[in-house]
């Protein structure tokens, strides 16, 4: 049960899918969140799933909000640009196999909208950053390596880690099975997964907008990230608390052995 | 596999769904349990699910009872009143994704009965109550905020917590996706999840009956709650014991390393 | 994915379903195992499920055997007797929701064979047995209470425990939803779940054969139980070891924090 | 959701299925990996599943690779040989019930290709090897025992262990339900599950090629195993790290009790 509610059916020409869900440093989340606002991209679909946390969050202290992922679109203004679909949201799947189910649902949906290329945005936690933070990259096809190497993306991500968990990796991985091409851009961040890193978001965004031939005013990024961070942190904190509550319900006080009486 | 057995097909006019499953302080459970008895609401359907605990309980020491959720209905007696559907029961889902599956089954069912409005009842554990316990509220639509603010509901629930786990949150959250409106009423309770709080149940019930234009004699509440609590506590205790048994079966005695011989 | 392979289609007249899967004291398992051999009941179907442990066992040291549940039938020899279906096997479901799925599959199957009555056999662990071990009982209908009280079954099981986990409880519980009547017979046993208790098996078997008007020579019970126990213990031990292996695979050596480098 | 992408539809005559997925000592994995290269077997299908780890791996530091299982075929060159299907891959299922689902999908697939015989390859960890390492065997049918006993396979595997977890056991076990015959060959290895044992791979390969009437030059085995091991170890390490990350996300910092405020 992963449902997509379609709010509008945009006609898009050869669109590129951009993904930015919560993850290491929340880099994809803040980068695309900023881009959506700056480009005034329009929401056209919402996704919710039984694989998300079984709770609602309270916005503005009183408004019930289901956990969701969202789709936005933006139409190219110039011939050098491409139509874009943004895939962002509150959370990723709670259970391991849920990741696959949600991503397949997303791919079914965007395939019908004509998507043949995917960019996913994420972070790579390196412990300590020596000099200027880098953007690491990974691709589904050799041809993409050549194409994007000249943009200054460092394609030695595998030396630092070796795997990409969740949407940022599975979308291009599963997309390739459908003949799509995928690029994953990973901003180097010193931090821990629960700390949002706006600087890493900025360097990834710089790389992405250059590739997409889009000009975006970055001056408001810091302020926006702080705004977004408040909301992202809240959900993260709630997920941690909810997990605690779930685990608490799952663990029982230890009864003395002689109190143990059960039937089978 | 979540099944609804329909015992009777009531014809209802624009009914409101009221939910009160076990949760913090069991507030919804006792409030609606009392209201069902006082209004002589009639049971018309039962729900059971593979997502509930895999055991039966023994009523009156000998009677095998499947864990269930139940639907009751009550027809309006006056023009100022509305037909009501009560959704109450023994338990909520054991697994996280089960919550979504059971709630979608409930919404499919009540949607066909004409439900467009949902009230869920729950508790909010605040550690310590300074003065008179409050009823906190959360809504799916701004318009509901205006409508119910005058009833004295405190719509700053989000300051105290920020999320609502399980049926009390998911029913309005998922219902909104179907165009339903939802209100969640949360009685302030000092206590711990496993302690039933009849006082918090009473204040929530007072608010709810005022909204629904129903008069209910509250004098029997204390006695009834004690009665109900016995049963609720029993199920809670059994769930804890059963979880212990399940976990016990899942954990093996630690063998010495040289005893470890396995095949793969 | 719970599959039933049908080996033979017996024509049965108003058959009773008897269940004896592994559980507390393995009482149902040894009691029905003995009865099947003594009555020369015939195997007619096998059930396997993705909810069982994901391994095969090695019989006679070399023969690959899938974990299974089995169905046997026996036809009444006298007018006072009834046709019987035995449901026994190697194991129960590993996951909580698997119990419901497997039991519904069993009920779908036996319903088509005309089953309207179910007897499940199990154990009740009481810590210490003061005098002669008792047979406790639980029923789905008041009418059954009256009918079987005179056979000396103690219907105060709920005082000792309060719930019945797995097949012994769910089969009558879910069966009742289909209009079937169910009785659960529980032999009092001092022991722990992993110790087979042939004496408790015998007292349950005595009660059951009296109810079913069947005469069985009990003299070979002790020997047979020892034989069966070897096999039951083996599976139990293997399940514990396998769980350990599964859990071992699931737990990773703790890396130093600065070694932690991941992508998302 | 277990998907098989078919790259080519080979016409095979009475083919034998050979399985070698990661497991104890990675014996099956290295043995079949070597055989595939030596025989120049051709890949004709790929399988991926929601039951695998929810991440992609980075090949050559930059190439996104979905976790997969793969099918290769090889056609007999002589009348004494048989057509072969190789089933190998990166990983097995993460969840217990996933094992059954993936194996049933594999059996559905190879059944259509005419498979009636299965050989699975694995390891048996015995702690310490006294003399020359042995190949243990298990079979689905008595007739196979007679046939293969003369090849020097030791059919007392059950004395050492008693169960076979995952593909190596479930493929012949579930295959038997479809009328297939199965043999499991287990190389004796001293080691721990995460250490690849090329010697045990060699002895199993020797046995297998003798049975299949295939001549393979073993001189390159050591080099190839080292090559393969690098890749296998990487995935294993990543799975351990990923599991750590998943578990880390699942565990919350312990809040003080008075900080606990939740809603239900």
Residues 6 or more apart whose Cβ sits within 8 Å of residue B241 = A252, A255, A260, A262, C163
Nearest to B204 by CA among B16, B18, B17: B18
The Cα angle at residue B24 between residues C101 and B155, in degrees rounded to 5: 120
CB contact under 8 A, D193 and B264: yes
State both tokens at C181. Answer: 């009547």
**d(Cα D199, Cα D31) in Å, to the nearest integer?**
10
pLDDT of A135 reads 94
3-state secondary structure of A115: coil
Residue-level pLDDT at B238 = 75
pLDDT digits (tens, 9 = 90+) for D206-218: 999 999 999 999 8
Confidence of residue C245 (pLDDT cuts 50, 70, 90): low
A250 and B240 within 8 Å at the Cβ level: the answer is no
Query: Measured between beta carbons, which residues in chain D are less than 8 angstroms from residue B125?
Result: 260-264
pTM as predicted: 0.90
pLDDT at D160: 78
Residue C55 parent element (H or E): strand C55-59
Q: How far apart are CA D15 and CA D80, in angstroms?
A: 13
Task: Say which of B1, B63, B254 has its CB closest to residue C139.
Answer: B63
Confidence of residue B192 (pLDDT cuts 50, 70, 90): low
Flag the least confident range among A94-108, A233-247, C31-45, D213-227.
Answer: A233-247
Q: Which is higher by pLDDT, C111 or B228?
A: C111
SS3 letters across chain B: CEEEEECCCCCCCCCEEEEECCCHHHHHHHHHHHHHHHCCCEEEEEEEECCCCCEEEEECCCEEEECCEEEEEECCCCCCCCCEEEEEECCCCCCHHHHHHHHHHHHHHHHHCCCCEEEEEEEEECCCCCCCCCEEEEECCHHHHHHHHCCCCECCHHHHCCEEECHHHHHHHHHHCCCCEEEEEEEEECCCCCCCCHHHHHHHHHHHHHHHCCCCCHHHHHHHHHHHHHHHHHHHHHHHHHHHHHHHHHCCCCCCHHHCCCEC
Contact D172 C49 (CB under 8 A): no
Question: Residue B96 is encoded by which pair of tokens?
Answer: 């996280």
Residue of A nearest to B105 (CA): A1
Which of A226-235, C106-115, C185-194, D246-255 shows the lowest per-residue confidence on average (mean pLDDT)?
A: D246-255
Q: Is the pLDDT assigned to residue B260 strictly greater than 50?
A: no
Pairing of strands A16-20, A117-125: parallel
Report how far residue A240's alpha carbon sits from residue A243's, in angstroms, rounded to the nearest whole number.
Answer: 5
CA D6 from chain centre, in angstroms, equals 20
Q: C142 near C207, Cβ under 8 Å? A: no
Q: Where does the pLDDT of residue A47 fall: very low under 50, low under 70, confident under 90, or very high at 90 and above?
A: very high
Secondary structure class of D142 (helix, strand, coil): helix
Give the tokens for residue C100: 């419901």
Find, in chain C, the residue whose alpha carbon is nearest to that of B240: C163
Distance from CA of D110 to the nearest CA of C (A): 19
What ranges in C40-195 are assigned the alpha helix state H? 96-112, 142-149, 157-160, 167-176
**Contact call for B263 and D125, based on CB within 8 A:** yes
Question: In this predicted model, what pLDDT tens digit does every residue of D120-179 receive, in sequence order?
Answer: 999 988 877 767 889 999 999 999 999 998 999 999 888 877 889 899 999 999 999 999
Contact check, Cβ <8 Å, A56/B100: no
Q: Evaluate whether A90 touches A79 at the Cβ level (below 8 Å).
A: no
**Contacts with D163 from chain B: Cβ below 8 Å:** 262-263
Q: What is the pLDDT of residue D260?
A: 30
Give dist(CA D82, CA D87) in Å, integer. 16
B23 vs D125: CB contact, 8 Å cut-off?
A: no
Residue A80 has pLDDT above 90, yes or no: yes
The label of the residue with tokens 């780890």 reads D53
pLDDT score at C162: 81
Q: How confident is the model at residue C251 (pLDDT cuts 50, 70, 90)?
A: very low
Are the CB atoms for C229 and C196 separated by under 8 Å? yes
> Between these two residues, D193 and A79, which has the higher pLDDT value?
A79
Instruction: Give me chain D's average pLDDT, please.
Output: 87
Q: Is B177 close to A3, i.e. CB distance below 8 A?
A: yes
CB contact (8 A) between residue C123 and residue A260? no
Chain C environment of B237 (Cβ under 8 Å): 162
Give the span between the Cα atoms of A118 and A107, in whole angstroms.
10
Average pLDDT over residues A67-72: 97
The superfamily (CATH) of domain B12-259 is PAC-like subunit (3.40.50.10900)
Q: Which residues contact D46 (CB under 8 A, 6 or more apart)?
A: D4, D5, D7, D68, D69, D70, D71
Is residue A189 over pLDDT 50? yes
Closest-approach residue (CA) in chain C for D145? C62
Neighboring chain D residues of B168 at a CB cutoff of 8 Å: 263-264
Q: In a 3-state reduction of DSSP, which class is residue D216?
A: coil
Q: What are phi and psi of D230, to 5 degrees?
A: -55, -45
**CB atoms A242 and B163 under 8 Å:** yes
State the nearest Cα–Cα gap between B216 and chain C, in angstroms: 34
- In this complex, the residue of A101, A184, A242 whose CB is nearest that of residue D1 is A101
pLDDT at C158: 80
| Distance, CA of B30 to CA of C69 (rounded, Å) | 42
Backbone angles phi, psi at A214, to 5 degrees: -120, 140
The residues facing B48 across adjacent strands are B3
Assess whether pLDDT exceeds 60 at residue B193: no
Percent pLDDT > 70 in chain C is 89
Q: Does residue D63 contact residue D163 with C-beta atoms inside 8 Å?
A: no
DSSP code string of C81-111:
---EEEEEES---SSHHHHHHHHHHHHHHHH
Given a cut of 60, whether residue C49 has pLDDT beyond it is yes
* pLDDT band at residue C250 under the 50/70/90 scheme: very low
Comparing CA positions, the residue from B52, B67, B72 lying closest to residue B1 is B52
Most C-contacting residue of D163, D239, D251 (CB-CB within 10 A), to test interface: D163
Subunits with 3+ C-beta pairs closer than 8 A to D: A, B, C
- B interface with D, Cβ–Cβ < 8 A, is 23-25, 122-127, 157, 160-161, 163-166, 168-169, 186, 193, 258, 260-264
From CA C98, how far away is CA B51, in angstroms rounded?
Answer: 9
Check C60 against D158: CB less than 8 A apart. Answer: yes
Cβ-based interface (< 8 Å): residues of C facing D: 1, 3, 5, 48-66, 94-95, 98, 234, 237-238, 241-242, 245-246, 248-255, 260, 262
Residue B259 has pLDDT above 50, yes or no: no
Secondary element (H or E) of residue D230: helix D221-250
Give the phi and the psi of residue A161 in degrees, each rounded to 5: -130, -95
Give the residue with greater pLDDT, A150 vs B129: A150
Q: Are B161 and A58 a contacting pair at CB < 8 A?
A: yes
First CA to last CA across chain B, in angstroms?
33
Token pair for residue B35? 């209201």
Chain A residue closest to D252 (CA)? A240
Q: How confident is the model at residue D236 (pLDDT cuts 50, 70, 90)?
A: confident
A156: nearest CA in chain D?
D61
Name D89's bridge partners. Answer: D69
| Plot region of B89 (φ>0 → left; ψ -120 to 50 → alpha; else → beta) | left
Confidence of residue C84 (pLDDT cuts 50, 70, 90): very high
Our CA-based measurement puts residue C246 at a distance from the nearest CA of chain D, in whole angstroms, of 8
Q: Give me D64's structure tokens.
A: 């996104």
* Phi and psi angles of residue C215, each rounded to the nearest 5 degrees, phi first: -105, 125
Q: Which chain A residues touch C263 with a CB distance below 8 Å?
A: 24, 122-125, 157, 160-161, 163-165, 168-169, 186
Query: What is the value of ipTM here, to two decimals?
Result: 0.88
Nearest to B24 among D123, D168, D262 (CB): D262
Q: How far apart are CA B139 and CA A65, in angstroms?
A: 9
**C129: which 2 tokens?**
């047995």
Pairwise pLDDT comparison (B155 vs D258), residue with the higher score = B155
Query: CA C86, CA C91: separation in Å to the nearest integer?
Result: 15
Considering B21-25, B166-170, D94-98, the range whose residues carry the highest mean pLDDT is B166-170
Of B25, B160, B264, the CB nearest to D168: B264
Cα of B149 to nearest chain C Cα, Å: 42
D130: buried, middle or exposed (CB in 10 Å: 19+, 13-18, 0-12)? exposed
The two tokens of residue B240 are 């804890």
pLDDT band at D24 (very low <50, low <70, confident <90, very high): confident
Determine the pLDDT at residue C253: 29
Nearest-angstrom CA–CA distance, C73 and C43:
7
The rounded Cα B88 to chain-centroid distance in angstroms is 6
Alpha-carbon span C116 to C102, nearest angstrom: 18
Cβ-Cβ contacts under 8 Å for C102 (sequence gap 6 or more): C2, C47, C49, C51, C69, C92, C93, C167
- From the CA of C148, how many Å to the nearest CA of chain D? 40
Residue among B162, B166, B245 minimizing CB distance to A54: B166
Task: Write out pLDDT tens, residues A82-100.
Answer: 999 999 999 999 888 999 9
At a CB cut-off of 8 Å and minimum separation 6, what does A22 contact?
Answer: A29, A89, A90, A91, A92, A232, A235, A236
| CB contact (8 A) between residue A163 and residue D58 | yes
Superfamily (CATH H level) for C2-259: PAC-like subunit (3.40.50.10900)
Minimum Cα–Cα distance from A183: chain D residue: D64
């Amino acid at each position: 049960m992963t449902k997509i509610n379609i709010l509008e059916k945009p006609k898009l020409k050869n669109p590129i899918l951009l993904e930015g869900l919560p993850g290491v440093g929340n880099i994809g989340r803040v980068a695309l969140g900023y881009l959506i606002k700056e480009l005034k991209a329009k929401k056209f679909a919402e996704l919710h799933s039984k694989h998300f946390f079984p709770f609602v969050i309270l916005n503005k202290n009183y408004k019930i909000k289901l956990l969701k992922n969202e789709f936005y679109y933006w139409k190219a203004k110039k011939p050098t640009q491409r139509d874009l679909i943004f895939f962002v949201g509150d959370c990723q799947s709670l259970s391991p196999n849920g990741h696959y189910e949600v991503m397949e649902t997303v791919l079914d949906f965007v395939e019908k909208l004509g998507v043949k290329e995917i960019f996913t945005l994420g972070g790579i936690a390196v412990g300590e950053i020596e000099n200027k933070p880098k953007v690491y990259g990974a691709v589904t096809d050799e041809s993409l390596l050549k194409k994007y190497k000249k943009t200054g993306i460092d394609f030695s991500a595998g030396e630092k880690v070796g795997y990409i968990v969740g949407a940022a990796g599975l979308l291009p991985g599963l997309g390739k099975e459908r003949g799509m091409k995928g690029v994953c851009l990973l901003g180097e961040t010193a931090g821990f997964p629960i700390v949002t890193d706006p600087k890493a978001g900025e360097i990834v965004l710089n790389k992405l907008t250059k590739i997409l031939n889009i000009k975006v005013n970055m001056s408001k990024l810091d302020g926006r990230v702080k705004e977004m961070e408040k909301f992202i942190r809240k959900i993260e904190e709630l997920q941690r608390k909810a997990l605690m509550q779930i685990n608490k319900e799952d663990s029982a006080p230890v009864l003395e052995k002689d109190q143990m009486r059960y039937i089978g």
